[in-house]
Structure 1
């Protein structure tokens, strides 16, 4: 008996008139209520919000740590399996005659900018430095923190967090949407990726829940990214001479960003991003992306010329080798608190770093996944998976090796004399520039970094607003009603500001880990739906059953 044709029609009701014209009201209004409630709670009751979120976060880290680790391992294995499996690898994300819209260089550039951006400027220095001081090897006594024998372990974990696992989580969402939207004509929204499992039921409340979860996860994931960026932006403004008002010092002598600094930074960032979002992808976002690429390349060349190039290149090649050898063990290892000093320390380290990253990438996946699907039409599954996993990961490794390697080398040889180690996470890049360069040149480079950081922040925020509206509009990129763009721009600003004021970056991290959990379930189901969909399509092709929608039925470009 021949298998049935696949589902090629998933009607999603949208409003035909009024304020929500073109939008799915059940998704849009529910998401706005949830995000608005979080903002009001965090601003009106910061202590209670921080306490409750912290308690939930502790429960998740202690109960669902296995889930996060094994879910990410599943994404990596599935992506590589689909690329290597001949029956799936040759399939196109689109019609058989579709060709890629973008050149390979443009495609790689856009993937890197969408998935990395802000994180490179903060973590390319901070993460190798942190792991150089402390990582599982130092906790277990195998290496000594902040010494030459710990450099290789520092890069194993830096590459683990920013390597294949991160990009596999993005790739799963993008592959699922690209496959079911461009081959079957389904809406470019998250629920379409689950159609092999739930069918037409996704037209109703079940599908609405999936899209709401995706919107909330996106808001929290992007807020986490913006939170790190805001803190580094404030550090940069302080370095280039904007004044002492940017920081406050508490009774214990701890320095933190002032409320006024956070407000000013968010007004600048979100104001610019909202204007960019209103101008659309073809104007503001494209213009900013071009600036990002140019300045990023300039900074990377600067470190190749003035940084510890030999040390960095050694860290790069040795680190990639060590990382590849470590994958089978690290990707499946879960450390649970067992009441011993070492066991509890390992569990705490994994919760603060690996689980945090896995949640961050999952929360960021709806945003990056929709974007990857939009730019990958016409590519084969194999081409898409290998391109989306390997090239961006290698670019991350280059940044971490050259920028972070320079920082480690400066501390190892005594030139920095603790100036980089003693700086806060958001300030370490600027501290390193102050060590490498004389004051005037350090100031000029700091200005360039601040400009690049601002353009990355604006690009991430305005792209997120447009993707959120795409999901809310049942996959239609058309509706760009100004009030909805303004709402989500303001919502991102208030989530970031409210949670930072409520409990610093830790509060955003906590909320994100919580928000990522339900979407991680959606992503795992998307993985199984992909397997089922591709497997059944193979059987359909063998039986002569149509597997792609009639091109005449597709919406016009």
Structure 2
């Protein structure tokens, strides 16, 4: 081990030097706009065709790649645990040896929380445990009866799977790969940098452009689904406070009313206008302040459930559910079934859907995590961005979801919460949990919280999209942030309208769009493993040379 070649770091991303696209990579920017424009036009001009074709392709993707999604996400989780545990890699700093973190720990965690799972936690805090209480693998096997005390443990086991280390691990793998090259090797903060140990100089050509375009498109689709679910809950919340009938429409086959297309579009425009204003102000101002507000309001909401909800019931379930999750963690990581079976169909509709959602979201959240994590060690990054948020999510799901389940088990809700629409279960729970006067105040707070979570997700996404298109530059044009905010609004609106006001089209487009980036992420893991091993060898060689001198 007398000589180890220096790593390839000579990434050359040509950016326009004048005019409207000054500072931006023309191939990446134009290709991204063309893909987004074609998808939007298709959804607007031929909505029935868009819905049927995307649904068919989505079914084929889940059938063929269900096993790949499950194994890949299991790999990501174990890869991170190993990287953090190994001393030589865990203590490496994402930056210069003496560099300090840019943001305080509170703001750092708040921004991670808001960008990563904020909207998802508001929508699924009650919907996820309730849904899995009615259907999960143990129930399908006949080991538990749905909606009974016997199904509680397995319901929370799979809730923790979907919102635990595997979910956050998807984000952190992308973020760690990007941050490592950007801050230890002074490379651009963009997708192609994470594959340089494997691709070398090829990242400077069309392959590199394609990788960055995949990152932009996956981000747009991931943000679109999150905003789609979020504005649906926002409409439900505003209706519960104001009672404005135009916000809802009758449910299918006599089911619970659902947000109307008009209500969704109005809420979407409100969210995106605020997001654009926040994105223009940058990370250090708008995004940070909104994220801090999100975390404070989240703590207040959690405290409301602790005081008025079924806290003792939730606390007892939390401990047993956490131990059960840890005991089954190895099996859950790589548990896959054929989609031809009932278990496989359940997995494709639940677990694989989530993995695709998180993967589609990972270029955005990963790059954003990298952007705010300079100066922290690899171990600190993994613990702070994957392990700790998982524990917070577990508590959040157990306290809010446990209260909903307890209200149903005790007979107080009498099936009302179960029958409520997915995005209205939180408000239905609150109506049974507190009195009418207090409910109005808490519902308004929840509406504000959903709104700020949505704005945080969207403005962070706009910043990330522009960073990728600008070749990794963190300070990008305000005009282009505004332009992409408008384009993102049009994409979400078009896909909502193509689905008749529903979110099916958004989900299908996201799962299909996430697949190519899932392969990129596997390559990222292999690249980072090679980079960490090579850097460790260089450190040993340098140490030996110093001793010899």
Please indicate the TM-score interval, normalised by the length of the shorter structure.
over 0.9
* Distance in 1 of aligned mates of 2:76 and 2:531: 16
Q: Is the 8 A contact 1:9 1:185 kept in 2?
A: no
Per-residue deviation, 1:84: 1.2
More off after superposition, 536-545 vs 170-179: 536-545
1:380 pairs with 2:384: no
Question: Per-residue CA shift, 1:25-48, capped at 9, x if unaligned?
Answer: 100110011011111111111110
Runs of at least 5 residues in structure 1 that lack an aligned partner in the other structure: 547-557
Per-residue deviation, 1:192: 0.5
* Alpha-carbon spacing, 1:91–1:284, altered in 2? closer, same or farther (3 Å): closer
Listed as ranges, the matches of 1:176-191 within 5 Å are 176-191=177-192
Listed as ranges, the matches of 1:125-274 within 5 Å are 125-249=126-250, 252-254=253-255, 255-274=257-276
* Distance in 2 of aligned mates of 1:83 and 1:287: 30
* Distance in 2 of aligned mates of 1:144 and 1:150: 6
CA-atom RMSD in angstroms = 1.5
1:479 pairs with 2:476: yes
Aligned match for 1:509, one of 502, 507, 510: 507
After TM superposition, the runs of 4+ consecutive aligned structure 1 residues lying more than 6 A away are none
More off after superposition, 501-510 vs 175-184: 501-510
- The equivalent residue for 1:553 is none
Aligned match for 1:362, one of 359, 368, 371: 359
Per-residue deviation, 1:177: 1.0
Per-residue deviation, 1:242: 4.2
* Distance in 2 of aligned mates of 1:465 and 1:357: 22
* Distance in 1 of aligned mates of 2:128 and 2:261: 26
Runs of at least 5 residues in structure 2 that lack an aligned partner in the other structure: 545-549
Aligned match for 1:456, one of 453, 456, 463: 453
Q: Is the 8 A contact 2:408 2:417 kept in 1?
A: yes
- The equivalent residue for 1:499 is 495
* Distance in 2 of aligned mates of 1:448 and 1:251: 30
- The equivalent residue for 1:555 is none
More off after superposition, 210-219 vs 328-337: 328-337
- The equivalent residue for 1:441 is 438
- The equivalent residue for 1:541 is 539
- The equivalent residue for 2:292 is 290
Per-residue deviation, 1:479: 2.0
* Distance in 1 of aligned mates of 2:294 and 2:252: 40
SS in 1 for 2:475: coil
More off after superposition, 535-544 vs 79-88: 535-544
SS in 1 for 2:23: coil
Question: Per-residue CA shift, 1:236-259, capped at 9, x if unaligned?
Answer: 111112411112237743543222
* Distance in 1 of aligned mates of 2:269 and 2:112: 27
Per-residue deviation, 1:103: 3.5
SS in 2 for 1:185: coil
* Alpha-carbon spacing, 1:363–1:251, altered in 2? closer, same or farther (3 Å): closer
* Distance in 1 of aligned mates of 2:487 and 2:328: 40
* Distance in 1 of aligned mates of 2:516 and 2:290: 33
Q: Is the 8 A contact 2:107 2:291 kept in 1?
A: no
Task: With the length of structure 2 as denominator, give the TM-score of the two structures.
Answer: 0.96
Per-residue deviation, 1:300: 0.7
* Distance in 1 of aligned mates of 2:249 and 2:506: 20
* Distance in 2 of aligned mates of 1:116 and 1:285: 15
1:426 pairs with 2:426: no
- The equivalent residue for 1:489 is 485
Question: Per-residue CA shift, 1:447-484, capped at 9, x if unaligned?
Answer: 110011111111111111011000100010122241x2
- The equivalent residue for 1:328 is 330
Question: Per-residue CA shift, 1:141-189, capped at 9, x if unaligned?
Answer: 0000000111111100000000010111111111111111111110011
SS in 2 for 1:98: coil
What is the aligned residue count?
Answer: 540
Task: With the length of structure 1 as denominator, give the TM-score of the two structures.
Answer: 0.94
SS in 2 for 1:331: helix
* Alpha-carbon spacing, 1:156–1:83, altered in 2? closer, same or farther (3 Å): same
Q: Is the 8 A contact 2:279 2:460 kept in 1?
A: yes
SS in 2 for 1:420: helix
